[in-house]
Amino acid sequence: MQKKKVVVTGFGPFRGFEDENPSSVVIDELKKTGIDDVDLELHKITVAYEDVSKKVPELWNEHKPDLVIHLGVHPVSKTIKFEQQAFSDGYCSNDVNGCTPEGNRTTCSSQEEVLKSCIDCDQLVINVTERCGLDGEKKYGGLIVKKSEDPGRYLCGYSYFLSLHEDCSKSLFIHVPAFEGECTKEAVAEVIRETIKSILGYC
């Protein structure tokens, strides 16, 4: 069986996570373990609009992936969020270089204000919860997965909109929490691994 090509990105340090970004730590964990029958392309992107505007289309063009997963960190503890959609404008917050995109909009040619992933996040929550045995209490310190429809108006939502513009059937953004207690980097990486396998239809 030909391996599926999956691109996974994480972000570098930024405000509140100056030492390390949990999304980059998950990238490191995936690099250690890999995923059976998956050709993983793992990348870390600077929290900068210019870098993201260049890097995201490059990843699509260079790798012709079967799936692109962007990872970012959010402040909700012990919760992994599958983001269903992203927005074209409202990107007013400065990146790590003190910059915002021109017109506070994404750089792609899409005329849409909102782009949605064709991946069913409601069903994905059900599938991943079952695959990982997440009970919201004991497993991984109470770690849960849930659907979200607001990835924010920063580099997370910005990168996601660019990928949805490339192919909404092969794109997903996932927000991961900071690590605490039994909600370890290994636990979060395992849930991300099972999420990828679920989307690809692997057992």
Sequence-distant (6+) residues with CB within 8 A of 22 are 73, 176, 177, 178, 179, 185, 188
Quote the DSSP letter at residue 104. G
Distance separating alpha carbons of residues 185 and 129, to the nearest angstrom:
18
Among 83, 108, 132, 165, the active-site one is 83
Among 108, 175, 183, 194, the active-site one is 175
Quote the DSSP letter at residue 17. B
Nearest to 115 by CA among 147, 174, 159, 49: 159
156 is catalytic: yes
186 is catalytic: no
43 is catalytic: no
Among 156, 165, 183, 194, the active-site one is 156
Nearest to 10 by CA among 73, 95, 75, 101: 73
Q: Active-site residue numbers?
A: 83, 156, 175
